[in-house]
Amino acid sequence: MKINLHEATWDAEEIQAVVDVLKSTRVTSGDKVREMEALFGPYAVMCNSGSSANLLAIAALANPVNQRLKPGDGVIVSALSWSTTVWPLVQYGLVPIIVDCDPNTLNIDPEQIKAALTNNSYPRIKAIMPVHVYGNPCDMVAIMDIAKNNDLLVIEDCCEALGADVGNHGDMSTYSFYFSHHITTLEGGMVVAKNNDDLDLLRVLRAHGWTREMENPPHYEGLDPKFTFINAGYNLRASEVNAAIGLIQFRKLETFVELRRKNAHILKTIFSVRPVRMQLDYGSSYFGFCLVTGRPLRKHFDAAGIETRPIICGNIARQPAMKLWEHQVVGDLRHADEVMQRGFAIPCHQSLTDGDLDYIRASVRDFYGD
296, burial (CB in 10 Å: exposed 0-12, middle 13-18, buried 19+): exposed
* Distance spanning both ends of the chain, measured CA to CA: 21
* 227, 210 Cβ separation under 8 angstroms: yes
**Which residue numbers are catalytic?**
181
**CB 95 within 8 Å of CB 126:** no
Tell me the C-alpha distance between 37 and 331, whole Å: 40
How far apart are alpha carbons 125 and 299 in whole angstroms? 41
Neighbouring CB atoms inside 10 A of 139's CB total 17
* Residue (of 7, 34, 19, 4) closest to 243 by Cα position: 34
| Short-list 26, 60, 10, 4, CA closest to 233 | 60
